[in-house]
Structure 1
Amino acid sequence: MPFLPPKPPEPFSWPAGRVLLRLLTPADTAGFLAYRADATVALYQSWEPYSAAQAEEFVRVQRRATIPAAPGQWVQIGIALAATDELIGDCALHLSADDPRLGEVGITLAPAWQGRGYATEALRGLLDYCFRALALHRVLAITDCRNLASVRLLAGVGMRREGHFRQHVWFKGGWADEYLYAVLGEEWQAGV
Protein backbone atom coordinates (compact mmCIF):
# COMPACT_ATOMS: atom_id res chain seq x y z
CA MET A 1 0.00 0.00 0.00
CA PRO A 2 1.47 3.41 -0.90
CA PHE A 3 2.29 5.89 1.84
CA LEU A 4 -0.40 8.49 2.31
CA PRO A 5 0.55 11.55 4.35
CA PRO A 6 -1.84 12.35 7.17
CA LYS A 7 -4.60 14.77 6.35
CA PRO A 8 -4.21 18.21 7.88
CA PRO A 9 -6.84 18.93 10.52
CA GLU A 10 -10.01 20.53 9.24
CA PRO A 11 -10.30 24.24 10.07
CA PHE A 12 -12.62 24.88 13.00
CA SER A 13 -16.23 25.38 11.98
CA TRP A 14 -19.36 24.96 14.12
CA PRO A 15 -22.84 25.66 12.71
CA ALA A 16 -25.22 27.57 14.98
CA GLY A 17 -28.50 28.36 13.26
CA ARG A 18 -28.10 31.37 10.98
CA VAL A 19 -24.47 31.80 12.02
CA LEU A 20 -21.28 29.82 11.76
CA LEU A 21 -18.55 29.86 14.40
CA ARG A 22 -15.16 29.76 12.68
CA LEU A 23 -11.60 31.01 12.71
CA LEU A 24 -11.04 34.64 11.85
CA THR A 25 -9.57 35.20 8.36
CA PRO A 26 -7.67 38.09 6.74
CA ALA A 27 -10.86 38.95 4.82
CA ASP A 28 -12.51 39.69 8.19
CA THR A 29 -10.12 42.50 9.14
CA ALA A 30 -12.21 45.45 7.88
CA GLY A 31 -15.43 44.17 9.45
CA PHE A 32 -13.64 43.28 12.68
CA LEU A 33 -12.14 46.78 12.85
CA ALA A 34 -15.51 48.41 12.15
CA TYR A 35 -17.14 47.05 15.30
CA ARG A 36 -14.03 46.83 17.49
CA ALA A 37 -13.29 50.53 16.81
CA ASP A 38 -16.82 51.52 17.91
CA ALA A 39 -16.80 53.14 21.37
CA THR A 40 -20.34 51.91 22.09
CA VAL A 41 -19.24 48.31 21.45
CA ALA A 42 -16.13 48.75 23.65
CA LEU A 43 -18.13 50.35 26.50
CA TYR A 44 -18.44 47.18 28.60
CA GLN A 45 -15.48 45.29 27.12
CA SER A 46 -12.03 44.97 28.68
CA TRP A 47 -10.52 46.68 25.61
CA GLU A 48 -10.61 50.22 24.27
CA PRO A 49 -11.63 50.93 20.66
CA TYR A 50 -9.16 49.29 18.27
CA SER A 51 -6.93 50.99 15.74
CA ALA A 52 -6.49 49.56 12.24
CA ALA A 53 -3.04 48.23 13.18
CA GLN A 54 -4.43 46.52 16.32
CA ALA A 55 -7.25 44.90 14.36
CA GLU A 56 -4.89 43.65 11.66
CA GLU A 57 -2.47 42.17 14.21
CA PHE A 58 -5.28 40.60 16.25
CA VAL A 59 -6.79 38.88 13.21
CA ARG A 60 -3.32 37.79 12.03
CA VAL A 61 -2.65 36.05 15.35
CA GLN A 62 -6.14 34.59 15.85
CA ARG A 63 -6.48 33.16 12.33
CA ARG A 64 -3.77 30.65 13.25
CA ALA A 65 -5.30 29.83 16.61
CA THR A 66 -6.15 26.39 17.82
CA ILE A 67 -9.72 25.94 19.00
CA PRO A 68 -9.87 25.35 21.85
CA ALA A 69 -6.69 27.12 22.91
CA ALA A 70 -4.37 25.57 25.46
CA PRO A 71 -5.77 25.72 29.00
CA GLY A 72 -5.16 29.16 30.48
CA GLN A 73 -5.24 30.87 27.06
CA TRP A 74 -8.11 32.76 25.43
CA VAL A 75 -9.12 32.28 21.79
CA GLN A 76 -11.43 34.47 19.70
CA ILE A 77 -13.81 32.69 17.34
CA GLY A 78 -15.46 34.52 14.46
CA ILE A 79 -19.24 34.72 14.19
CA ALA A 80 -20.17 34.75 10.50
CA LEU A 81 -23.50 34.67 8.70
CA ALA A 82 -23.99 31.10 7.51
CA ALA A 83 -25.47 32.26 4.20
CA THR A 84 -22.72 34.71 3.19
CA ASP A 85 -19.74 34.11 5.54
CA GLU A 86 -19.79 37.84 6.48
CA LEU A 87 -18.22 38.43 9.90
CA ILE A 88 -20.73 39.97 12.31
CA GLY A 89 -18.93 39.46 15.62
CA ASP A 90 -16.71 37.21 17.65
CA CYS A 91 -16.87 35.13 20.77
CA ALA A 92 -14.20 34.20 23.25
CA LEU A 93 -13.42 30.83 24.80
CA HIS A 94 -11.10 30.12 27.71
CA LEU A 95 -10.41 26.81 29.43
CA SER A 96 -9.19 27.06 33.00
CA ALA A 97 -5.48 26.42 33.46
CA ASP A 98 -6.24 24.74 36.80
CA ASP A 99 -8.98 22.47 35.45
CA PRO A 100 -9.64 22.47 31.68
CA ARG A 101 -13.07 20.93 32.26
CA LEU A 102 -14.13 24.45 33.28
CA GLY A 103 -14.65 27.12 30.64
CA GLU A 104 -15.46 30.79 30.31
CA VAL A 105 -17.08 32.50 27.34
CA GLY A 106 -17.74 35.99 26.06
CA ILE A 107 -19.31 37.55 22.98
CA THR A 108 -19.13 40.74 20.90
CA LEU A 109 -21.53 41.57 18.08
CA ALA A 110 -21.43 44.40 15.55
CA PRO A 111 -24.18 46.99 16.28
CA ALA A 112 -25.93 46.41 12.94
CA TRP A 113 -26.57 42.79 13.92
CA GLN A 114 -27.62 43.32 17.55
CA GLY A 115 -31.18 42.76 18.69
CA ARG A 116 -31.96 40.24 15.94
CA GLY A 117 -31.22 36.93 17.68
CA TYR A 118 -27.75 36.38 16.19
CA ALA A 119 -25.96 36.67 19.54
CA THR A 120 -28.35 34.11 21.03
CA GLU A 121 -27.67 31.65 18.21
CA ALA A 122 -23.91 32.22 18.42
CA LEU A 123 -23.77 31.80 22.19
CA ARG A 124 -25.97 28.71 22.10
CA GLY A 125 -23.69 27.32 19.40
CA LEU A 126 -20.59 28.05 21.48
CA LEU A 127 -22.11 26.41 24.56
CA ASP A 128 -23.17 23.44 22.45
CA TYR A 129 -19.57 23.11 21.23
CA CYS A 130 -18.29 23.39 24.81
CA PHE A 131 -20.55 20.67 26.15
CA ARG A 132 -20.94 18.31 23.19
CA ALA A 133 -17.54 18.47 21.51
CA LEU A 134 -15.31 19.36 24.47
CA ALA A 135 -17.39 17.64 27.18
CA LEU A 136 -16.82 20.51 29.60
CA HIS A 137 -18.29 20.24 33.08
CA ARG A 138 -19.19 23.90 33.58
CA VAL A 139 -19.06 27.14 31.61
CA LEU A 140 -19.30 30.63 33.07
CA ALA A 141 -19.63 34.16 31.76
CA ILE A 142 -19.06 37.45 33.58
CA THR A 143 -20.73 40.70 32.56
CA ASP A 144 -20.92 44.26 33.79
CA CYS A 145 -24.26 44.66 35.58
CA ARG A 146 -25.00 47.77 33.51
CA ASN A 147 -24.79 45.78 30.27
CA LEU A 148 -28.47 44.92 30.15
CA ALA A 149 -28.32 43.34 26.68
CA SER A 150 -25.65 40.92 27.91
CA VAL A 151 -27.62 40.16 31.08
CA ARG A 152 -30.69 39.29 28.96
CA LEU A 153 -28.58 37.23 26.55
CA LEU A 154 -26.92 35.12 29.25
CA ALA A 155 -30.20 34.42 31.02
CA GLY A 156 -31.95 33.82 27.71
CA VAL A 157 -29.62 30.98 26.69
CA GLY A 158 -30.22 29.21 29.99
CA MET A 159 -27.30 30.39 32.09
CA ARG A 160 -28.07 30.98 35.76
CA ARG A 161 -26.98 34.10 37.65
CA GLU A 162 -24.79 32.76 40.46
CA GLY A 163 -23.16 35.88 41.74
CA HIS A 164 -23.38 39.65 42.02
CA PHE A 165 -19.97 41.09 42.75
CA ARG A 166 -20.28 44.64 44.10
CA GLN A 167 -17.54 47.06 43.10
CA HIS A 168 -15.60 44.01 41.98
CA VAL A 169 -13.36 45.50 39.32
CA TRP A 170 -11.71 48.84 38.60
CA PHE A 171 -13.05 49.40 35.12
CA LYS A 172 -12.46 52.37 32.83
CA GLY A 173 -12.00 54.86 35.64
CA GLY A 174 -14.37 53.56 38.31
CA TRP A 175 -15.48 50.59 40.35
CA ALA A 176 -17.96 48.35 38.54
CA ASP A 177 -20.35 45.62 39.63
CA GLU A 178 -20.33 42.32 37.77
CA TYR A 179 -22.70 39.39 37.46
CA LEU A 180 -21.46 35.83 37.13
CA TYR A 181 -23.57 33.43 35.07
CA ALA A 182 -22.95 29.70 34.64
CA VAL A 183 -24.41 26.49 33.29
CA LEU A 184 -23.42 22.88 33.90
CA GLY A 185 -22.87 20.36 31.14
CA GLU A 186 -25.54 18.07 32.54
CA GLU A 187 -28.04 20.95 32.52
CA TRP A 188 -27.16 21.81 28.91
CA GLN A 189 -27.48 18.18 27.83
CA ALA A 190 -30.90 18.02 29.55
CA GLY A 191 -32.02 21.05 27.52
CA VAL A 192 -31.99 24.02 29.89
Structure 2
Amino acid sequence: MFTPPYPIMTPRLVLRPFTEADLDDLHAFHSLPEVTRYLYWDARTREETKAALDRKIACASLGEDGDVLSVAAALAGGGPVIGDLTLFLRSREHRQGEIGFVFNPAYQGRGLATEAAREILRIGFEGLGLHRVHGNCDARNTASARLMERLGMRKEAHLVENEFFAGAWSDELVYAMLAREWHAGAASA
Protein backbone atom coordinates (compact mmCIF):
# COMPACT_ATOMS: atom_id res chain seq x y z
CA MET A 1 0.00 0.00 0.00
CA PHE A 2 1.36 3.43 -0.95
CA THR A 3 0.36 6.61 0.87
CA PRO A 4 2.00 9.90 -0.15
CA PRO A 5 4.02 11.77 2.49
CA TYR A 6 1.28 14.23 3.48
CA PRO A 7 1.06 17.14 3.68
CA ILE A 8 2.72 18.00 0.39
CA MET A 9 3.67 21.66 0.36
CA THR A 10 4.12 23.71 -2.79
CA PRO A 11 4.86 27.43 -2.85
CA ARG A 12 1.14 28.30 -2.69
CA LEU A 13 -0.71 25.09 -1.86
CA VAL A 14 -1.06 22.26 0.60
CA LEU A 15 -1.97 18.87 -0.88
CA ARG A 16 -3.51 16.46 1.58
CA PRO A 17 -6.24 13.85 2.01
CA PHE A 18 -9.82 15.08 2.07
CA THR A 19 -11.58 15.45 5.43
CA GLU A 20 -15.22 15.93 6.41
CA ALA A 21 -14.44 19.59 7.07
CA ASP A 22 -13.94 20.08 3.30
CA LEU A 23 -17.62 19.75 2.41
CA ASP A 24 -18.39 23.46 1.98
CA ASP A 25 -15.26 24.13 -0.07
CA LEU A 26 -15.79 21.10 -2.30
CA HIS A 27 -19.48 21.87 -2.80
CA ALA A 28 -18.59 25.45 -3.79
CA PHE A 29 -17.25 24.15 -7.11
CA HIS A 30 -18.77 20.67 -7.47
CA SER A 31 -22.17 22.39 -7.58
CA LEU A 32 -21.32 24.59 -10.60
CA PRO A 33 -22.65 23.50 -14.02
CA GLU A 34 -19.70 25.19 -15.76
CA VAL A 35 -17.31 23.00 -13.74
CA THR A 36 -19.08 19.72 -14.52
CA ARG A 37 -19.91 20.48 -18.14
CA TYR A 38 -17.29 18.02 -19.46
CA LEU A 39 -17.33 15.56 -16.56
CA TYR A 40 -19.23 12.29 -16.17
CA TRP A 41 -21.38 13.74 -13.41
CA ASP A 42 -23.70 16.71 -13.25
CA ALA A 43 -23.54 19.65 -10.87
CA ARG A 44 -24.02 18.13 -7.43
CA THR A 45 -26.45 18.89 -4.67
CA ARG A 46 -24.99 19.25 -1.19
CA GLU A 47 -26.04 15.65 -0.42
CA GLU A 48 -24.37 14.37 -3.61
CA THR A 49 -21.22 16.33 -2.77
CA LYS A 50 -21.24 14.79 0.72
CA ALA A 51 -21.48 11.29 -0.78
CA ALA A 52 -18.62 12.09 -3.19
CA LEU A 53 -16.56 13.49 -0.30
CA ASP A 54 -17.12 10.30 1.72
CA ARG A 55 -15.73 8.30 -1.23
CA LYS A 56 -12.76 10.67 -1.50
CA ILE A 57 -11.95 10.35 2.20
CA ALA A 58 -11.76 6.57 1.73
CA CYS A 59 -9.26 6.99 -1.15
CA ALA A 60 -6.09 8.08 0.66
CA SER A 61 -3.70 5.36 -0.59
CA LEU A 62 -2.99 3.11 -3.56
CA GLY A 63 -2.24 -0.60 -3.62
CA GLU A 64 -4.13 -2.57 -6.22
CA ASP A 65 -5.16 -2.03 -9.83
CA GLY A 66 -8.22 0.19 -9.93
CA ASP A 67 -7.40 2.00 -6.68
CA VAL A 68 -7.92 5.76 -6.63
CA LEU A 69 -5.95 8.39 -4.72
CA SER A 70 -8.03 11.51 -4.00
CA VAL A 71 -6.10 14.62 -3.01
CA ALA A 72 -7.41 17.98 -1.82
CA ALA A 73 -5.53 21.11 -2.92
CA ALA A 74 -5.93 23.89 -0.35
CA LEU A 75 -4.44 27.35 -0.38
CA ALA A 76 -1.40 27.53 1.90
CA GLY A 77 -1.83 29.21 5.24
CA GLY A 78 -5.16 27.60 6.08
CA GLY A 79 -7.02 28.66 2.95
CA PRO A 80 -9.94 26.82 1.36
CA VAL A 81 -9.83 23.66 -0.73
CA ILE A 82 -9.79 24.88 -4.31
CA GLY A 83 -8.90 21.69 -6.16
CA ASP A 84 -9.84 18.04 -6.34
CA LEU A 85 -7.09 15.86 -7.83
CA THR A 86 -7.09 12.17 -8.61
CA LEU A 87 -4.47 9.57 -9.41
CA PHE A 88 -5.79 6.23 -10.61
CA LEU A 89 -3.60 3.13 -10.47
CA ARG A 90 -4.59 1.53 -13.77
CA SER A 91 -2.03 -1.30 -13.85
CA ARG A 92 0.66 -2.17 -11.34
CA GLU A 93 2.13 -4.78 -13.72
CA HIS A 94 2.50 -2.26 -16.56
CA ARG A 95 3.10 0.66 -14.16
CA GLN A 96 0.28 2.74 -15.64
CA GLY A 97 -1.62 5.58 -14.00
CA GLU A 98 -4.16 8.22 -14.90
CA ILE A 99 -4.43 11.78 -13.63
CA GLY A 100 -7.61 13.80 -13.14
CA PHE A 101 -8.35 17.25 -11.75
CA VAL A 102 -11.25 19.59 -11.01
CA PHE A 103 -10.68 23.15 -9.78
CA ASN A 104 -12.77 25.98 -8.46
CA PRO A 105 -13.04 28.49 -11.35
CA ALA A 106 -12.68 31.38 -8.89
CA TYR A 107 -8.98 30.44 -8.66
CA GLN A 108 -8.27 29.76 -12.35
CA GLY A 109 -5.69 31.67 -14.33
CA ARG A 110 -3.08 31.74 -11.56
CA GLY A 111 -1.17 28.55 -12.30
CA LEU A 112 -2.50 26.83 -9.17
CA ALA A 113 -3.92 23.83 -11.04
CA THR A 114 -0.57 23.34 -12.80
CA GLU A 115 1.26 23.59 -9.47
CA ALA A 116 -1.01 20.97 -7.90
CA ALA A 117 -1.19 18.60 -10.87
CA ARG A 118 2.61 18.62 -11.16
CA GLU A 119 2.75 17.19 -7.63
CA ILE A 120 0.28 14.45 -8.57
CA LEU A 121 2.57 13.50 -11.44
CA ARG A 122 5.49 13.52 -8.99
CA ILE A 123 3.57 11.12 -6.74
CA GLY A 124 2.96 8.84 -9.71
CA PHE A 125 6.48 8.82 -11.10
CA GLU A 126 8.65 9.27 -8.03
CA GLY A 127 6.42 7.80 -5.32
CA LEU A 128 4.79 4.90 -7.13
CA GLY A 129 7.45 4.36 -9.79
CA LEU A 130 4.93 4.50 -12.64
CA HIS A 131 6.18 4.17 -16.21
CA ARG A 132 3.35 6.12 -17.87
CA VAL A 133 0.63 8.50 -16.69
CA HIS A 134 -2.16 9.60 -19.01
CA GLY A 135 -5.03 12.03 -18.79
CA ASN A 136 -8.16 12.33 -20.93
CA CYS A 137 -10.49 15.21 -21.61
CA ASP A 138 -13.35 16.16 -23.88
CA ALA A 139 -11.84 17.90 -26.90
CA ARG A 140 -13.99 20.96 -26.16
CA ASN A 141 -12.38 21.27 -22.73
CA THR A 142 -9.51 23.46 -23.87
CA ALA A 143 -8.58 24.48 -20.31
CA SER A 144 -7.84 20.86 -19.35
CA ALA A 145 -5.95 20.23 -22.57
CA ARG A 146 -3.80 23.32 -22.00
CA LEU A 147 -3.11 22.26 -18.43
CA MET A 148 -1.85 18.85 -19.54
CA GLU A 149 0.34 20.53 -22.16
CA ARG A 150 1.78 22.88 -19.50
CA LEU A 151 2.63 19.81 -17.44
CA GLY A 152 4.71 18.55 -20.37
CA MET A 153 2.29 15.80 -21.33
CA ARG A 154 2.12 15.05 -25.03
CA LYS A 155 -1.08 14.63 -27.01
CA GLU A 156 -1.20 10.98 -28.04
CA ALA A 157 -4.66 10.76 -29.54
CA HIS A 158 -7.68 12.66 -30.73
CA LEU A 159 -10.52 10.15 -30.68
CA VAL A 160 -13.33 11.31 -32.95
CA GLU A 161 -16.91 10.92 -31.70
CA ASN A 162 -15.86 8.09 -29.40
CA GLU A 163 -18.39 8.81 -26.65
CA PHE A 164 -22.04 9.71 -26.53
CA PHE A 165 -21.87 12.40 -23.88
CA ALA A 166 -24.61 14.72 -22.63
CA GLY A 167 -26.86 13.88 -25.57
CA ALA A 168 -24.29 14.22 -28.36
CA TRP A 169 -21.24 12.51 -29.80
CA SER A 170 -18.04 14.03 -28.47
CA ASP A 171 -14.36 13.80 -29.25
CA GLU A 172 -11.81 12.90 -26.61
CA LEU A 173 -8.16 13.92 -26.28
CA VAL A 174 -5.59 11.64 -24.66
CA TYR A 175 -2.39 13.10 -23.20
CA ALA A 176 0.44 11.13 -21.62
CA MET A 177 3.89 11.34 -20.12
CA LEU A 178 6.51 8.65 -19.60
CA ALA A 179 8.76 8.41 -16.56
CA ARG A 180 11.84 9.30 -18.64
CA GLU A 181 10.06 12.45 -19.87
CA TRP A 182 9.13 13.36 -16.30
CA HIS A 183 12.70 12.89 -15.07
CA ALA A 184 14.16 14.83 -18.02
CA GLY A 185 11.72 17.69 -17.35
CA ALA A 186 12.38 17.63 -13.61
CA ALA A 187 16.13 17.76 -14.24
CA SER A 188 15.78 20.81 -16.49
CA ALA A 189 13.35 22.64 -14.18
Which 5+ residue runs of structure 1 have no aligned equivalent?
Answer: 1-8
2:167 aligned partner, one-letter code: G
* Residue 168 (str. 1) matches residue 186 (str. 2): no
Alpha-carbon deviation of 1:98?
A: 6.6
Corresponding position of 2:176? 182
CA deviation after TM superposition for structure 1 residue 146, in Å: 0.6
Q: Would you say 1:121 and 2:121 are equivalent positions?
A: no
Which has the greater radius of gyration? 1
Letter in 2 for 1:109: F
- Distance in 2 (CA, whole Å) between partners of 1:191 and 1:20 is 22
The structural deviation recorded for 1:19 is 1.4
Query: How far apart are the structure 2 equivalents of 1:85 and 1:11?
Result: 20
Scaled by the length of structure 2, the TM-score of the pair is: 0.90
Contact 2:12 / 2:112 at 8 angstroms: preserved in 1? yes
In structure 1, what is the equivalent of residue 152 of structure 2? 158
Q: CA deviation at 1:83?
A: 2.1
1:33-112 correspondence runs (5 A): 33-68=27-62, 70-97=64-91, 99=93, 101-112=95-106
Aligned to 2:163, the other structure's residue is in SS state strand
What's the offset of the Cα at 1:66? 2.9
Q: Does structure 2 retain, via aligned residues, the 8 Å contact 1:13–1:20? A: yes
Query: Aligned-pair distance for 1:59?
Result: 1.5
Root-mean-square deviation over aligned CA pairs: 1.9
Tell me the residue number matched to 2:124: 130
SS at match of 2:185: coil
CA displacement, residues 151-190 of structure 1 (integer Å, 9 cap, x when unaligned): 1111011000000000011111111101100000111011
Residue 191 (structure 1) shift: 1.2
Mapped to 1, the partners of 2:112 and 2:33 lie a distance apart of: 21
2:19 partner letter: T
Identity within the alignment, %? 36
Amino acid at match of 1:120: T
